[in-house]
């Protein structure tokens, strides 16, 4: 555990970002949402109020904020490359919701820019619907 929570910003506000933000709240202080951004002022304000974080006026504002260590990126798939490229260039770690990209070449480029920048890239692939994980869940529930 770090001495302080990892400070993140949520980018691309929608129903899935709320699910992930609720998950952040369950990390027992390991993560902290400091800021959020989406183009919709209304969605941005609602999210900021709900999660008690700053509503940034632009993505650039988040990238320039030295207190932000990572980005939870739930933007549409077709902008994953550009938003991740900018985050990596700013030294921000990236949690990118699946899929990594719409094309193999974009996926490879996302991986490359994060590696070259020395930032962690994590892709949010969930596995709860796969049969082996459902079997494990049943076993756990059965005691």
**Token reading at 3:** 């001495």
Indicate the pTM of the whole model. 0.84
What 3-state DSSP class applies to 123? strand
Q: Is the pLDDT of residue 2 over 60?
A: no
Q: Is the pLDDT of residue 129 over 80?
A: no
pLDDT confidence tier of residue 127, bands split at 50, 70 and 90: low
CB burial class (10 A; 0-12, 13-18, 19+) of residue 5? middle
Architecture of domain 6-142: 3-Layer(aba) Sandwich (3.40)
For the chain, domain boundaries? 6-142
Mean pLDDT (the chain) is: 92
Rounded-to-integer distance, Cα 32 and Cα 28, Å: 10
pLDDT in tens, 53-109: 999 999 999 999 999 999 999 999 999 999 999 999 999 999 998 899 999 999 999
The DSSP bridge partners found for residue 124 are 97
pLDDT in tens, 9-36: 999 998 888 888 888 888 888 899 999 9
Give all strands of the β-sheet with 31-37 in edge-to-edge order.
Answer: 54-55, 31-37, 6-11, 70-73, 93-97, 121-124
Q: Is the pLDDT of residue 137 over 90?
A: no
CB burial class (10 A; 0-12, 13-18, 19+) of residue 17? buried
Residue 50, pLDDT score: 96
């Amino acid at each position: 555990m770090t001495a302080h929570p990892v400070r993140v910003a949520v980018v691309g506000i929608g129903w899935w970002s709320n699910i992930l933000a609720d998950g952040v709240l369950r990390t027992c202080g390991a993560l902290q949402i400091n800021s959020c951004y989406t183009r919709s002022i209304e969605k941005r304000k609602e999210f900021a109020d709900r999660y008690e974080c700053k509503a940034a006026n632009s993505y650039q504002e988040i990238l320039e904020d030295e207190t932000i260590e990572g980005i939870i990126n739930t933007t549409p798939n077709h902008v994953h490359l550009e938003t991740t490229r900018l985050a990596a260039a700013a030294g921000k770690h990236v949690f990118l919701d699946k899929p990594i990209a719409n094309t193999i070449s974009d996926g490879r480029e996302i991986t490359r820019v994060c590696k070259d920048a020395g930032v962690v890239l994590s892709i949010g692939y969930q596995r709860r619907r796969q049969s082996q994980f459902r079997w494990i869940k049943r076993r756990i529930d059965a005691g």
